[in-house]
Structure formats: C-alpha cells, structure tokens
Amino acid sequence: MAKPNNTLFFVQGNPGFDDCDAAVLGVAFDGNASYGRGAAEAPQAIIKASHQMDIENPMTGKTLETAIHNFGIIEPKNAKEMIEETEIVAKKALEARKFFVLLGGDHSTVNGLLNAVPEGTCFVNFDAHLDLREEWQGKKESHAAIAHRIFDKGFEQVWVGTRDLINEEEMKFVSEQNIANKIFYSPSMPKAFYKTQEFPKWMKKENMLFDKHYAKKALDTIESEKVWLNIDIDCLDLREGIETGVPTPFGLSLETLRDLIYEICQKKEIVGFSLAEVIPDKFGKSQAIAAMLCYSILSWLESKNK
Ligand SMILES: [Mn+2]
C-alpha cells in the first residue's frame, strides 16, 4: 500500500486510526472501466484538490474538525487484488464503527465493500446507470454489474439520476424484482414526451425529476435506517464540468445532488460513502467537485453529531 504522502483536507499530520472519526481509502484502480479510463488517478487528484479548499467554511463560519485517518492509496494490479485489499481496510474501519470513505477508482471498487458494509444498510446509488447487469464483458465484478452484486448480497437499494443504457436484461430484472418504485430518473426526453407515453412496468411516472417532490420521494423510499452513499460522479449533468468514464448528458444538477444528500444525512445514519468514476481533468474541475462533495458530507455529519 502506498504511504499516505498527503491527506484529505488536512495537509499536516494524519490522525491515528484509533482516534479518528472518519477513515479514507483511495483505490487507484480503473481496470474494470469499459469505456473511458483515468479514474485510477482520482484519489490522488481529489486529495490534492481538497488542499485548495478552505476547511473553514465561509458560508457557515465553522471549521471542519472531523479527525480523518488516511489509509493511503492502494494500487492493485488486478480486480481480485483490488477487491481483497479494499475489503481488508473497509472491514477494519467499519467494524470499528468509523465513518468510511472510499475514493475510487472505477465503480467496480465498490465490490470491496460488499462484505464490510453492515447488514440492513441501504445503498443509495447516485448514478446515470442502473448497473444491474448480471455481468458485463464477461466480468461479474464489472462496474456495470455493481448494483447486481449489491443486490446479490441482500442490501436494499435506491437509484437516483438514472437515464441511460438500460438494457432489456435490466428492465426485466426491475420488473421481476418489483423495484421500479426505487428508481428515480433524470429524464433525457422533454416532459411533453412522457405525457404521451405509456409507462412501462420498470418506470414510474412519479419518479421523474420533473416532479417537484422528486427528492422527498427518493428519501421516503429508503426503508433502512443505515445508508451507504454510493456516488458515481456520472449522476451529474455534463454542464457541471465533470470528466468521467461514461459521460452522459441530462443528469442531476450539482444543487439537486447536494440537497438530496443533505436531506439523507439529516434523516438517516450514514455509514460511509464511495465516490467513483471521477476522471481528473487538467482544469481541476472534476476533482474540485469531488473534493467539495467529500467536504460537504463530512461537515454535515459533523454538525449533526455535535
Ligand atoms: Mn454510471
């Protein structure tokens, strides 16, 4: 494992694991990406971008005081190694009831969490895609099959920002498992189009972002008390300036994502979050958004727990 040569938000020092409130692991792995590569560079870039952020928030006047332990960044050579190494660290953190942050990497890095996240947790998947394929390109651990793996483990799931690449296999799965009410779309067609449409079994009219109660409904759908925020950065709209493995237009605005995560943080017990598919860009935009999300979630939880 690479030594933590620098740390998320805190340039000086790395709080010890026993004393930390939150623990962070970077997984520099994009070996399972099927389209754009580069997410392996994200953990280092996000950490670097976090140093540009003022941890004293001018909007609240409060300084982030959460003690964050950095495990460092692992650089696994293959999927098997990635899953094993991630799992060891995730288990250590979550068994000690530390808030855990996984900085990917492609979305397949979440495979390393499946045996570590406590039972009875709902994965809230912020993602343009359902990722419900049984396998993709012959790989069960593919980023495009991650929600299927989460399902196999028996976790509840809710999707937000869905809008692309929903294939027949996934539609069938949604209908058979009766989970259409758990999927919240960010539609790529104009509102008028959907008015004329007969809605298929796998799509709920009231779960479209056009509906003003979108965020509330998504939140109300979560049955579990515990939540894992499973963020694939491609949930965001491209106008937000993100660079990602499978860029997809008509996504969530940064405000919609922010507000919904804020609400979930207020109402649920957040076990941790994963941030995947961020590809650092030369202007620093993707990594700045990612660092801001890390900061926001940690500071909301800190203010809630005070
Ligand atoms: Mn995705």
List of domains in the chain: 22-305 (3.40.800.10)
List Cβ neighbours of 220 (8 Å cut-off, separation of 6 or more).
Answer: none
- Between the CA of 13 and the centroid of ligand 1 the distance, in Å, is 34
- Between the CA of 88 and the centroid of ligand 1 the distance, in Å, is 25
- Between the CA of 152 and the centroid of ligand 1 the distance, in Å, is 19
pLDDT for 13: 67
pLDDT for 305: 77
- Between the CA of 165 and the centroid of ligand 1 the distance, in Å, is 9
The CA distance from 240 to 285, in Å, is: 9
Residue 301 CA, chain-centre distance (Å), reads 16
Low-confidence ranges of the chain (pLDDT < 50): 2-4
pLDDT for 32: 74
- Between the CA of 161 and the centroid of ligand 1 the distance, in Å, is 10
- Between the CA of 147 and the centroid of ligand 1 the distance, in Å, is 10
pLDDT for 64: 84
The CA distance from 273 to 294, in Å, is: 9
pLDDT for 157: 98
pLDDT for 12: 59
Q: CA Rg, the chain, in Å?
A: 18
- Between the CA of 140 and the centroid of ligand 1 the distance, in Å, is 16
Structure tokens at 126: 């912020």
pLDDT for 143: 87
The CA distance from 61 to 73, in Å, is: 31
> Which of these, 105, 93, 130, 108, lies nearest to 271 by C-alpha position?
93
- Between the CA of 192 and the centroid of ligand 1 the distance, in Å, is 26
